[in-house]
Amino acid sequence: MTHTAMQQGAMPATSPALGTVDTRPAGGASVKNLPVNLFAAVMGLSGLALGWRFAHTEFGIDRVVSDAIGLFATLVFVVLLIGYGTKLLRHPAAVKAEFMHPIAGNFFGTIAIALLLQSAVLGGYNAALGSALWVVGTIATLLLSAYVVSRLLGGNSNPAHAVPAWIIPGVAALDIAVTGNHMPMPWAGEVLLLSVAVGSVLALVMFTMICTRLIQHEPLAPAMTPSLMILVAPFEVGFTAYTNLTGRVDLFAGLLFYFGLFMFVVLAPKVFRRNVPFGAGWWAISFPLAAMVNAGLKYAAVRGTLPLKVLAGGMLVALTGVLLVLTVRTLRIVFNGRLLTG
């Protein structure tokens, strides 16, 4: 089945909220229509908070910026947990349909990554809470990764479904190492090694499949275009996971950072276009960009050269502006009722 056939009725229509495929029935505003991929907002905001925290530690920026963004990210996470929990209780069939969908189901990885990133954000204030969130996020991530691999190995996958969202479970596994390098448990080191093994291989396989689909099949639907930026994530998240695991920023780490930066330069003109409609799916750009910024800050701090510091600082400021725009535009569609309208 071609991507065109999916859009023309053989599959559910493209959803402006999911930025993937709509599994929702038509109707009025309802929590039943809350898209799971909105948890990407928590990922982007948490990553931004961690970026400003790093800037505070390494470059002396006032920590109030990081604290304010981190508090807002936590508030968004709690609101979304309540909202999606309500959806699960009231409309379990809708949640099941979303989870079982070959494209939309991958966005459940955003919940796991949000847990992991929140463990890093809140762990700066309460180590026990941070550790608890990391353990829950780790278990959820590894279970999701196992489920995704099992489903793919079941066969009969439509090549047109190999979209950038497929790489999210692999990125989630890498985020275990990104957020868990300070965990005090004696077994944490082995879990970090497991997560990097699973995440790196999954990301490599998925990246290859996605690139093959983008090259050989029809272009993504306009509402899915922002998700192209997810292809930056495995390299920049991989950079941080690798450096946390090895304790050094070496040549291989630099290669990961620079290829992720190269992918951003290639994909940015394709993503930031006026003809791409705004929806919750735009938050898919936030966590890859946040990962790139955090990797850039760490790389610049280690290398110590002025051009790299300027680049990293500029990326941090730009990311702050991008997430501010996304937040304002998302609040606008929340208050005018479009977000939860079927």
Confidence class for position 29, pLDDT limits 50, 70, 90: low
Q: What's the CATH number where 162 sits?
A: 1.50.10.150
Coil vs helix vs strand at 164: helix
Residue 135 CB coordination number (10 Å): 17
Q: Per-residue pLDDT for 11 more than 70?
A: no
What tokens does 272 get? Answer: 């930031």
The mean predicted confidence, pLDDT, of the chain is 86
Residue 29 DSSP code: B
Enter the pTM of the model: 0.86
Coil vs helix vs strand at 341: strand
Tally of domains in the chain: 1
Q: Per-residue pLDDT for 174 more than 50?
A: yes
CB 123 within 8 A of CB 182: yes
Is the pLDDT higher at 154 or at 171?
A: 171
Q: Examine residue 64 and state whether it is found in any structural domain, yes or no.
A: yes
Residue 306 CB coordination number (10 Å): 8
- pLDDT tens by residue, 205-247: 999 989 988 888 777 788 888 989 999 999 999 999 999 999 9
Residue 10 DSSP code: I
Q: What are phi and psi of 29, to 5 degrees?
A: -65, 130
Q: Per-residue pLDDT for 12 more than 60?
A: no
- Residue-number span of the structural domain to which 299 is assigned: 25-335
Q: Count CA within 13 A, CB hemisphere, residue 167.
A: 28
CA triple 182-203-312, angle to 5 deg = 60
Q: Examine residue 305 and state whether it is found in any structural domain, yes or no.
A: yes
Whole-angstrom Cα Rg for the chain: 19
Closest CA to 236 of 204, 259, 266: 259
- What is the average per-residue pLDDT within 42-71? 91
SS3 content of the chain, % helix, strand, coil (to 5): 75, 0, 20
Give the C-alpha separation, 196 to 212, whole Å: 24
Q: Per-residue pLDDT for 69 more than 50?
A: yes
Q: Which residues pair with 255 in a beta bridge?
A: none
- What is the average per-residue pLDDT within 22-51? 79
- pLDDT tens by residue, 83-141: 999 999 988 998 998 888 888 888 888 999 999 999 999 998 999 999 999 999 999 99
CA distances from residue 214 to 9, 12, 102, 109 in whole angstroms, order as listed: 21, 21, 17, 22
Residue 277 DSSP code: -
Give the C-alpha separation, 276 to 279, whole Å: 9
Task: Please report, as a single letter, which amino acid is at residue 171.
Answer: V
Q: Examine residue 318 and state whether it is found in any structural domain, yes or no.
A: yes
